[in-house]
Structure 1
Amino acid sequence: MTDLPHAPTAGARPVSVRLGPAAGIAAGPLFLGLVLLNTWWSRDFLHSIGWRLFGGESLPYPSCLALGPHGWMQVVAFAVTGLLVVIFAIGLRRAIPRRPSAIVATTLLVLFGTAIATSSARVDWTSVHGGDPSTPNGWIHGISFVVALPSILLATCVLGLALRGDRRWRPFAVASPLVGVALALSLVGGPHGQATFLVFLAILFGWIAALALRLRRVGP
């Protein structure tokens, strides 16, 4: 079977194709903006439970922000960002070569976006303190994290395979697996604590935004 990009369909383009690039570009600034703003506004709450930018307690950040005085902001951040990632992934699928690895990669991105959206179920206090979830929403949140992390790490590697040989996407065929390595390394927080997770988020959403910008140029 010949590896070809999806051809445009007649008539109006699907919503996912029209909105895909914008969704991918907007996801990172929205999520990081709300997280950073909420972190600043909730700093007294965070410090009271042992959070520090460097060091501090091992807490599920930024999830724990949902339990603070502006918890609604974190709920919105998860729900809307997840939806944006799903829209982006569906749009991306129509613009990359038709091959099994492309289906796997974009499915993993959809799974990641869905898991981010379901993370809007608030983490509970037992989870914050290192225990097993004690509420239904806590379990949903915990399972969502377990799904999201491997999904995005695998997506970076598989997407590299999906884009190989396509000159329009050549830089991303090389860079995407390297992004996966950088994401994995940034999860090793060590003494830098939550600061390295913010680096993780910056790398992740920077990669998605770069893909979205290329998607806007390439089109379906």
Structure 2
Amino acid sequence: MSTTTLIPAATPPARQPSRTTKALLLCGAVAGPLFALAFLIEGAARDGYDPLRHPVSSLAIGPHGWTQTANFLLCGLLTLAFAVGVRRALRPGRAATWGPLLIGVWAIGLLGAGVFVADPVSGYPPGTPDTLPQYTTSGALHDGFALFAFPALVAACFVFTRRFTEQRQHGWAIYSALTGLAFLAGDILASAGFSQTAGLVDLAGLYQRITVIIGLLWLTLLAMHLRSQLSKATHRRATR
């Protein structure tokens, strides 16, 4: 009578996080700092430009405007790549669809802002009326992209607030919610200032910079957090 020896199947190796996913998340970690550093330096160096008063988008106007245009496009592409990385890192799970989708909308808004140059506003470039802009097609499209990009980032903050709350990551939940609220409030103040609302015009550029930096910081830290979680999850699987 023959016997059959059963050989236990080898345990498959723990799945390593995709290098591509980690690289895509890294794009989100570097996009914000690069974008902010570029517009802060350019705003401080540009003749006739007042960072406290004028919008970041106005840096794309004029002979040297290509620098801010390139800044918009580079940050938009990096953030779009990050959105893909978020989708890969979260799937399946809470926020795996809406989180990356809303970040992707923000990225498309940056790309649109780079393709279409804003109209002059609040007296920049020097010699233009210190009033509401006379809208051109390019300026209207630029503002149109911003019109859906900024609310999308606010919504992304609250989508992740729900995710972190369910995961009992209360620090991150609170931080995401506060970011969403601060970003929304700052956007409203800046928009009112650029619309020549009395008492807000002279500081509209400052409000916008604070707002944008708050949002970019959240995206940067989120990218680093997701990369860290990905590595920790792999380590836990490997040590089982």
Please give the TM-score of this superposition, normalised by the length of structure 2: 0.72
- The answer to whether the 8 A contact 2:151-2:184 is kept is no
How far apart, CA to CA, are the structure 2 residues paired with 1:52 and 1:80?
A: 21
Deviation at 1:66, TM superposition (A): 0.6
CA distance in 2: counterparts of 1:185 and 1:12, whole angstroms: 37
Task: Give the aligned partner of residue 183 of structure 2.
Answer: 183
Contact 1:78/1:119 (8 A) holds in 2: yes
Structure 1 regions of 5+ residues with no counterpart? 1-8
> Residues 52-131 of structure 1 correspond to what in structure 2 (within 5 A)?
53=52, 56=53, 59=54, 61-96=55-90, 98-99=92-93, 101-120=95-114, 121-125=116-120, 130-131=132-133
Distance 1:70 1:86 in 2: 26
User: Out of 214, 217, 220, which is 2:228 matched to?
Assistant: 217
1:133 corresponding residue in structure 2: 135
Superposition deviation, residue 148 in structure 1? 0.8
- C-alpha offsets along residues 126-179 of structure 1, whole Å, 9 cap, x if unaligned? 8975245323x3232121111111111111111211333225x55322321111
Looking at structure 1, the residues matched to 134 and 23 of structure 2 have their Cα atoms a distance apart, in angstroms, of 38
Contact residue 119 and residue 133 of structure 2 kept, 8 A: no
> Identity percentage over the alignment?
26
Any conservation in 2 of the 1:63–1:122 contact (CA below 8 Å)? yes
Partner Cα distance (2:98, 2:220) in 1: 20
* TM-score, normalised by the number of residues in structure 1: 0.78
Unaligned runs of 5+ in 2: 1-13, 125-130, 191-199, 232-240
Alignment-mate amino acid for residue 193 of structure 1: A
Tell me by how many angstroms 1:13 deviates.
3.0
Counterpart-to-counterpart distance in 1, 2:34 and 2:223? 15
Q: CA deviation at 1:100?
A: 6.0
Output the aligned Cα RMSD: 2.7
Aligned residues: 199
